[in-house]
Chains A and B, each alone.
Chain A
Amino acid sequence: MSVSADSIPAAPSSRWSLSRLAHDHNVLGLLFLLPAAAFLLVFLTYPLGLGVWLGFTDTRIGRSGVFIGLENYQLLWEDHIFWLSVFNTILYTTVASALKFGLGLWLALLLNERLPFKAFFRAIVLLPWVVPTVLSAIAFWWIYDAQFSIISWALIEIGLIDSNINFLGDATNARASVIAANVWRGIPFVAISLLAGLQTIPPSLHEAATLDGASSWQRFRHITLPMLTPIIAVVMTFSVLFTFTDFQLIYVLTRGGPLNATHLMATLSFQRAIPGGQLGEGAAIAVAMIPFLLAAILFSYFGLQRRRWQQGGAD
């Protein structure tokens, strides 16, 4: 059997290059990244891309659409209900997030103190977060019922009011009511996450400050708050994202009523796309949410970068 001279080094060379590849950090990194990247592509990038594409088409249920450029956005620009939903969403997100942050931080500070039955209280606080949203929304639906509200009933019994409160029938009341329900549900997430952050602050810092004569407000302002900033940034980003994209609470409580006063962009998007059959326009409304969501993420990104400030330097 004759063997050509060229073929002899070929095998060791390929083995050598394979083994080199196997030890190449870049190649390995790419390989390990592949499953996650594929997952993200299939389940995140593709649906997102499809949504953006649908927003540029006139696709309807049962009929594939054609590219119509920015027509959906032009129509939305002239649609007062869309703008009302943008206003409602911003109001809902801003007020609910501010309340969740204030009350959540307060609760976290309380839970961080030496309390009897601390573990029990911490578990209890998580309950609103653990209960499925639809269930808590149905509970709130009864609480806010025009005829059978327990709040109205109790206040009438006490003698504070004469007739039922129109919780979900009046625009202002309805907005306040859905925000209250959202705050009730969202507080545990903020409180427990901030509590975790509080526990990472070394007690020695507080002790040193106390020895230096710092008041409790000064300790909070100059130790707790700066040390907590990174976690606040992350927690509030998530909280804002959850609130901005809320759907279930509104859908169960009001479906966007009364007179669209509680319609959020997410609920309007669903209403137009699925029951209304206009997938293109529904997708356009959903895509219109992206800039707001990006702004929230950027806010968090820059919040996280402010490390110098936390270490006593300027921003």
Chain B
Amino acid sequence: MTVSRRDLLLGSAGLAAGAAGMSMLGSVPARAQSAMKFTPEQGASLRVLRWSPFVKGDEDAWLANTKKFTEATGVEVRIDKESWEDIRPKAAVAANVGSGPDVMWVWFDDAHQYPDKLLDVTDLANDLGSRYGGWYAGPEGYAKREGRFIGLPLATIGNALCYRESWVKEAGFSEFPKDTAGFLELCKALKAKGHPAGFPHGKAVGDGNNYAHWLLWSHGGKMVDESGKVVINSPETIEALKYARELYQTFIPGTESWLDVNNNRAFLAGEVSVTANGVSLYYAAKNDPKLAEMAADIRTTNLPIGPVGQTVELHQTTTAVIFKYSKFPQAAQAYLQFMFEADQMNNWIQGSSAYCCQTLKAFANNPIWTSDPVHAPYAKASDTLRPNGYAGPLGYASAAVMADYVLVDMFAEAATGQRTPEDAAKRAEQRANRYYRV
């Protein structure tokens, strides 16, 4: 076996990265084995397409890490950005025509739409998993198909309740309720004090789906069973719909039209006391000197636990995939491996200011999660994540049901009183059956 300069550099870079990460954190488990080695192809260069960052530090850290990779290996990496909603069509086109970026950050079940177009990265994923405490099951599910990794789970974009502590106290609650019943009481009290809650019932791709899935899952409902049979029309769903109807009465008017940005706007304007969002909402207040008082009053917590007895949330997940058409699969794997090594990954998680939650368990004690109490709930995102289309298989049907807003519409219909919970569940069942048909 011959060891090239690239091998040496890459191997030593990985080792150095691991060592640095360990020394910085002092808690990343010692590696039981040495890292796999990928030898970038001669003259390799890579194109990466990612979603536009929501937190600037995320991009800065990723670019800095990429620069380190280029310095270590000589492989040039070009990073392009697209608005997060444009990623799905771009990735689909790339998969269909067999040309485009080598590496792409895709959302949710995108990778399951064209699994045969993606490079099998099982060896790399197993290598990283074994050295960094294993993957969280939720993000892993999005990246794995029939036991093989078709991508690397990159991050979970955590969702948590954001609320105004002073208003919660004013409403007579010394601490934030942990269960759904207590949460409803709190929202009623907040509304009585003129500080309504606000969750989107409109076509909000991210926040609307997060809220609807939490409502459903916290009450034990699910879209399909393990075999993919639609079971949304269930007593648990009806209970969830009744709960949503009651909670809706405590909302600010107009949430039926809310898109993803509306809850941020309303919260930052002091119009709502509690909503659910990524940590970016907190940073929007913190980075604005005029909102300093509000930022100091913002607290976050995980969404309340319902009758099901545990926290279950959708969150957003992003997976890094390598397309099979890439001329430089070794370089692409070397790149992803490098970015997942402790030094780089810790740097990126920190730079993302709690926006991107780790998918490998070893990074759970990154200092970012304890640097500000507001960050803490977001640290659990990968742990509490349940995949879209639970408990069925991921694929085109789960993606299509979400894209058609079946759950979001069902809750909006029942919450606003336009349909009875029974009717709303029945309609959702009909709509879901269109996609889950055999």
Contacts and interface: CB of A to CB of B under 8 A. Distances in A.
Interface string B251-271: 011111111001001100101
A146 B404 contact: no
Interface stretch (A5-13, A159-167, A210-218): A159-167
Contacts of B403: 271-272, 275-277
A274 B271 contact: no
A213 B368 CA distance: 87
A174 B404 CA distance: 19
B51 interface: no
Nearest to B86: A274
A276 B400 contact: yes
Contacts of A277: 92, 113, 396, 399-400, 403
Nearest to B260: A255
A254 B396 contact: no
A166 B418 contact: no
B203 A166 contact: no
B269 A147 contact: yes
B117 A146 contact: no
A307 B396 CA distance: 55
A295 interface: no
Nearest to A278: B400
A166 B396 contact: no
Contacts of A169: 202, 253-257
Interface stretch (A45-53, A185-193, A194-202, A256-264): A256-264
B88 interface: yes
B254 A256 contact: no
A63 interface: yes
A75 interface: yes
A118 to B, nearest CB: 41
B94 to A, nearest CB: 10
B388 to A, nearest CB: 13
Interface in A132-167: 144-148, 163-164, 166-167
* Chain A interface residue bracket vs B: 20 to 34
A207 interface: no
Contact of B404 (A61, A258, A272): A272
A254 B266 CA distance: 17
Given A60-B113, A147-B252, A167-B257, A259 B95 contact: no
B257 A75 contact: no
A257 B256 contact: yes
B414 to A, nearest CB: 11
Interface string B393-434: 000100110011000010011001010000000000001001
Contact of A62 (B117, B266, B269): B117
B89 interface: yes
Contacts of A145: 262, 265
A259 B415 CA distance: 12
Given A147-B265, A166-B253, A277-B113, A260 B409 contact: yes
B254 A166 contact: yes
Contacts of A163: 253
A146 B196 CA distance: 14
B434 A259 contact: no
Q: Is the interface of B mostly helix, strand, loop or mixed?
A: helix
Nearest to A256: B203
Interface string B69-94: 00000000000000001001100100
B88 A274 contact: yes
A255 B203 contact: yes
A274 B86 CA distance: 10
Interface string B193-213: 000000001110100000000
B404 A276 contact: yes
A62 B113 contact: yes
Nearest to A144: B257
A79 interface: yes
Contacts of B258: 146
Given A163-B253, A260-B409, A274-B88, A61 B96 contact: yes
Interface in B187-234: 201-203, 205
B256 to A, nearest CB: 4
Given A271-B404, A276-B403, A146 B262 contact: yes
Contacts of A164: 253-254
A61 to B, nearest CB: 4
A247 B59 CA distance: 32
A146 B254 contact: yes
Given A62-B95, A62-B96, A259 B113 contact: no
A62 B114 contact: yes
B43 to A, nearest CB: 29
A257 B203 contact: yes
Contact of A61 (B113, B205, B256, B413): B113
Contact of B412 (A174, A259, A271): A259
Contacts of B255: 146, 169
A170 B269 contact: no
Nearest to A258: B256
Given A168-B257, A259-B409, A61 B203 contact: no
Contact of A259 (B114, B117, B256, B404): B256
A148 B255 CA distance: 13
Given A259-B413, A276-B400, A166 B95 contact: no
Contacts of A174: 257
B111 to A, nearest CB: 10
A234 interface: no
B89 A274 contact: yes
Contacts of B114: 61-63
19 contacts: A61-B92, A62-B113, A144-B257, A145-B265, A146-B254, A146-B257, A166-B257, A169-B253, A169-B254, A255-B202, A257-B203, A257-B412, A259-B409, A272-B400, A274-B88, A275-B403, A277-B399, A277-B403, A278-B400
Interface of B: 85, 88-89, 92, 95-96, 113-114, 117, 201-203, 205, 252-259, 262, 265-266, 269, 271, 396, 399-400, 403-404, 409, 412-413, 416, 418, 431, 434
Given A62-B92, A272-B403, 12 more contacts: A60-B113, A62-B96, A62-B117, A146-B255, A147-B269, A148-B269, A255-B203, A257-B203, A257-B256, A274-B89, A275-B88, A277-B92
- Which 6 residue pairs across A and B have the least CB separation, nearest first? A146-B254, A62-B114, A168-B257, A255-B203, A169-B256, A276-B403
